[in-house]
Structure 1
Amino acid sequence: MAEKEHVNRAVADFMWNIVEIHSQLEEIRKSWAQLLGISEPQWLILMAIDELDEGRGVPGIAVANKLRIHPAFVTNQTKKLEHSGFLTRITSPEDARFLQISLTEKARAEIASLSMKREALNSTMFSGLDRESLEYLNKRLASIAKNSRFASQKLSIGIM
């Protein structure tokens, strides 16, 4: 019984650490967004496009899937970001029903201007962790993310 209690305590500590990390990352994203004069969700959309784009643009559905948000919200926000000069949206050459979204030079320049601050922030956040430790941590977190999606699905269909 003592082992089960230790595991339950460790799981609870993990959950509260995730809540704290999430809260702090949200504040950090808000700060980055404010520096660019955009909203936090718009900042996340820019970051997702920056990560996903391999030079041909990114479909909105890929951005929605990465951020786990509704595609209509991505469409609405990318229109605003396009109007602000941060994005271009062009018809996909493979399928005219879809748009390919890319960062503009303005967006790339604005994001690049934050790079020194972002590096300093990352250095502070991950102080004491080397590359191998971060890779190990990311593998474990990816496993937990996958398992939590599975557990959530089981819970939603009533088999848990």
Structure 2
Amino acid sequence: MQTDQSLSSLTVSRPELLVEGDDAAFRAMLHNLLAFSSRLEQIRARFAAFIGLTGPQYTILITIRQLQKAGQVGVGTVAEHLALTPTFVTNETKKLVEAGVIEKVPDPNDMRRVKLTVTARGERLLRQLAPVQQEINDQLFEPVTPENFALLRGLAADLRESAEKARALSDYLVAQAEVAK
């Protein structure tokens, strides 16, 4: 049986995240996710460097490419999709325009907004990257099977949503702790 002291040192309290009342498995999983995230960032930086961009610029470029298939893409759409600030996306899209990989044109329906599209140069660079990206992504996700891919996709979406809520909660709790000092 756990003492009040041992319960207070747990990093989670939900029974689904405890194994025999201990959070060691949760912590190990979290560290694995952090390591995976770090590797994703490093790989993204290499993809970006391959086409002469920074990691965030590459991510914005491929997001514009993906979203433009469904219709017009603006800064706000990209920012929301990537959980970034519109100001950051605006600054990075200026650099992408200068690099000649996207273009910004005024939205004919609202002249305060711009429409973002990938240029022919941007498409060419992404096509050049594709074989390298394909090989690396195949290796990166080698353990994924058709059965657990569906689970992984759903879990990733759910974790993204819960992460937004947890970030807001952390902002609140940190602010409360600062007030209490």
What TM-score do you get using the length of structure 2 for normalisation? Answer: 0.79
SS in 2 for 1:157: helix
Structure 1 gap ranges (5+):
none
Counterpart contact for 2:47–2:133, Cα < 8 Å: no
Of residues 165, 173, 181, the one that matches 1:150 is 165
Measure, in 2, the Cα distance between the counterparts of 1:109 and 1:131: 31
Measure, in 1, the Cα distance between the counterparts of 2:71 and 2:137: 29
User: Is 129-138 or 22-31 further displaced after alignment?
Assistant: 129-138
Counterpart contact for 2:57–2:92, Cα < 8 Å: yes
Quick check: 1:138 aligned with 2:153? Answer: yes
The alpha carbon displacement at 1:55 in A equals 6.0
The correspondence of residues 32-111 of structure 1 with structure 2, limited to 5 A, is 32-54=47-69, 56-111=71-126
When Rg is computed on C-alpha atoms for both structures, the one with the higher figure is 2
Measure, in 1, the Cα distance between the counterparts of 2:92 and 2:162: 30
Task: Give the percent of matched residue pairs that are identical in Structure 1 and Structure 2.
Answer: 26
Measure, in 1, the Cα distance between the counterparts of 2:70 and 2:168: 35
What TM-score do you get using the length of structure 1 for normalisation? Answer: 0.88
**Cα RMSD for the two superposed structures:** 1.8
Q: Deviations over 1:107-139 (max 9, x none)?
A: 111101111111111211111322231111121
Q: Deviations over 1:50-108 (max 9, x none)?
A: 22112644100111112222212211211121121100101112211100101001111
Moved over 3 A (4+): none
The number of residues matched between the two structures is 157
